[in-house]
Amino acid sequence: MLTNKNILLGVCGSIASYKSAHLIRLLVKAGANVKVIMTADATQFITPLTLATLSKNPVLTAYYNPESGEWHSHVELGLWADLILIAPASANTIAKMASGICDNLLLAAYLSAKNTVYFAPAMDLDMWHHPATQQNIAKLQSYGNILIKPAYGELASGLTGEGRMAEPEDIISFLTGELKKKLPLTGKKALVTAGPTYEAIDPVRFIGNHSSGKMGYAIAERLEQLGADVTLISGPTSLRSSANIKKIAVTSADEMLIAATDNFGDADITVMSAAVADYKPDTVAPQKIKKDSGSLNIALTKTTDILAQLGKRKKPGQLLIGFALETEHEEANAIAKIKKKNLDFIVLNSLNDKNAGFKGDYNKVTIIDRQLNKEYFELKSKVEVADDICKKIVALMAHD
């Protein structure tokens, strides 16, 4: 949720400002770009050098640097930020924000904010419960600012109660939850298959294909970024998925069939991008087959068509997307699969397209929906192709 987000962190004068160092580390680790503005009082509790080192950006404390002659534009800072987080937010700064007072760079940036402002108060128990503070908190919330509530615990004064700034891990969790609420696929469950299947001949040999799984993994990652809870059923591959994606590792077509049917009923969106073997050996030799003769004949039997089985089970409101890798009569074959397998749309790619398809990092696809509308795309990275596919999914989910 925080990857590539521009976060302007305001740090106020509070003993809790020591937590800002850990908070910055967590934000950067989550992939965010962090710039820090400190009030003059905050520099008495933690050094700008510490926060600059952790954020990998200069820390700002004033409008103007007399040594370098550099002017720090509060307007540009407000425009740069995807969100502003003030943590810790002192009683003094909260009061100024509520009143529109603008006597330092942080307050000027706050008044220039174009996106959501989050604030995590930190103060002593009596200050937190004072009617003036509570009135200021209510006023800030009425402006659209979002409160990250303080925690209950031991305070710097020795009292115990509310007023402790929320722990950095809890702030990260809060931000992630708030950002996820705004994503188009939040609350939706997605099922994605990826990679090849290996059909055993004997304990050491198999029938397989050249699928790397890159396309399916890219789709799973993009669906997760759009807010969906994603289950990824993966054939043998060396790829890694996000920790937020539930991964089920399988080897054979039969194993993928079981995993797909077990998880399909709960899925709002199913994308079957795996390259499942069409045939498997009729019998699997219990021991390694010896090279005793000049030829070897292996009887093959068809595997179960997983996509067709899911199409039969599909309920109203479920989206089912298939892939078609063709070498001839590409569009006609893809359209036949849409009808036969009850698909909402199919992603067609051809082995005739140079630099597209198996193993590589690029793909060239055509999306055909059940109304036979066709969208043609140029050669793109598989990450970009995944984005195009997911845009189609979001549009269909919004229409439903």
Say if CB 32 and CB 175 are below 8 A apart.
no
Burial (0-12, 13-18, 19+ Cβ within 10 Å), 395: exposed
DSSP run (H or E) holding 387: helix 382-399
- How many CA atoms, within 13 angstroms, populate the side-chain half-sphere of residue 221? 17
Query: Is 373 a known active-site residue?
Result: no
DSSP secondary structure letters along 72-129: --HHHHHHH-SEEEEEEE-HHHHHHHHHT---SHHHHHHHT--S-EEEEE---HHHHH
- Whole-number Å distance between alpha carbons of 70 and 291: 77
Q: Which helix (H) or strand (E) holds 300?
A: strand 300-302
77 contacts: CB under 8 Å, gap ≥ 6 = 8, 35, 37, 60, 109, 112
For residue 128, give the nearest of 100, 96, 160, 104 by alpha carbon.
160
Length of the chain equals: 400
What would the two tokens of residue 371 be? Answer: 């109304």
The answer to whether the peptide bond before residue 88 is cis (omega within 30 degrees of 0) is yes
Residue 219 dihedral angles phi and psi, to the nearest 5°: -65, -45
Q: Which two tokens stand for residue 157?
A: 């004064």
- Distance CA(70)–CA(42), nearest Å, equals 21
Cα-Cα-Cα-Cα dihedral sign, residues 205, 207, 210, 211: negative
Active-site residue among 6, 209, 263, 333? 209
Residues 6+ apart with CB under 8 A from 62: 72, 104, 105
Q: How many CA atoms lie within 13 A of 136 on its CB side?
A: 22
Closest CA to 366 of 391, 338, 385: 385
Residues annotated as catalytic are 209
